[in-house]
Amino acid sequence: MKTETRIWLVIFVLAAACLAWDVGDRGASRAYVREVDGRVAPATVADYVAGTAQFSLSRTIGIWVAALLTLGIFSFLYRDNPFYKLTESILVGVSAAYWMVVAYWDVLIPNLFGKIWPGWIQSWAMPGLSPQRDEYWFVYLVPLALGIMLLWRLSPRGSWIGLWPLAFSIGATAGLRLVAYFQADFLGQIRSGIMPLAFFKDSTLDVERSIENIVLVTGTICCLAYFFFSFEHKGTIGRASQIGVWVLMITFGAGFGYTVMGRIALLAIRLEFLFDDWLWLIDPSQRRLGM
């Protein structure tokens, strides 16, 4: 047996022993719910303290599944392995189905079928919907037709039919974004970027604010100069674009700093799940008070 395999075997055996003690002795990894009127909700601290929380087998199995899948994904950090590949396959399948189901119940049923056949949808799926058709219900036949054409892309023949709805989406996106970006990101930013280079507060020159404004305006112009690739970057334009590069580097450095914070937060929450919900090593929200 290779040394690496031996080390991993020892680690797994130790981990299994600790887990067995944690689960068997301390009752870790168990999920509890509160069931009222046939509806289930996760148990709250009041339920734990009162002793009215009920053990939930399905949620307990769920916690174990989530923990094992989490570890499966983390195992990729060591190296690619079948456990990771299995987890990835499950995730891909579940994600794709998730989006489909959400689109079906949240959009297609109420906003498409519910507009064309409101009485039928109301009778079984959405009793709160009005069974009366809107005055202009027939406009919804267009997205229905376009949708069928879009799904034709799955067919081995005639997938070109899917081009029409695709073209509609592309054209609509172009139209939606053109004006919005111009208004908010172009004109809006230019408007915000025009600021007084000599800022007066109560008739006195506010030096600090004035310097800030000068740097901001100059920085913006210099960065824009850098993005002007139609002109050769030499002379004044060259110097301006050099300053622009420096400002951009500061921008990217700031972006990096924020990105790191975001990534660490993601890792922290996963570890918190493993330590809190699975292993019961910590209880930061004091949910299991009195257990």
13, 17, 107, 194: which one contacts another protein (CB under 8 A)? 107
230 binds another protein (CB under 8 A): no
Q: Which residues pair with 54 in a beta bridge?
A: 33
CA 282, distance to chain mean position in Å, is: 27
Which tokens hold the place of 67?
């923990």
Shortest Å distance, C-beta 25 to another protein? 19
57 binds another protein (CB under 8 A): no
Region from 11-19, 21-29, 207-215, 230-238 binding another protein, contact rule CB under 8 A: 207-215
Q: Which is nearer to another protein, 30 or 114 (CB)?
A: 114
Q: Which is nearer to another protein, 23 or 113 (CB)?
A: 113
Region from 12-20, 22-30, 182-190, 233-241 binding another protein, contact rule CB under 8 A: 182-190
138 binds another protein (CB under 8 A): no
189 binds another protein (CB under 8 A): yes
Rounded to a whole number of angstroms, the CA Rg of the chain reads 30
Within 10 angstroms of residue 68's Cβ, the number of other Cβ atoms is 12
154 binds another protein (CB under 8 A): yes
Q: What are the φ/ψ torsions at residue 55 (nearest 5 degrees)?
A: -65, 135
How many Cα atoms occupy the beta-carbon half-sphere of 9 within 13 Å? 6
Region from 15-23, 176-184, 230-238 binding another protein, contact rule CB under 8 A: 176-184
Whole-Å CA distances, 282 to 4, 29, 276: 31, 12, 5
Element housing 222 (H / E):
helix 207-226
| Span 117-136, contacts to another protein by CB under 8 A | 122, 124-132, 135
State how far the Cα of 36 lies from the Cα of 225, in Å rounded to an integer. Answer: 65
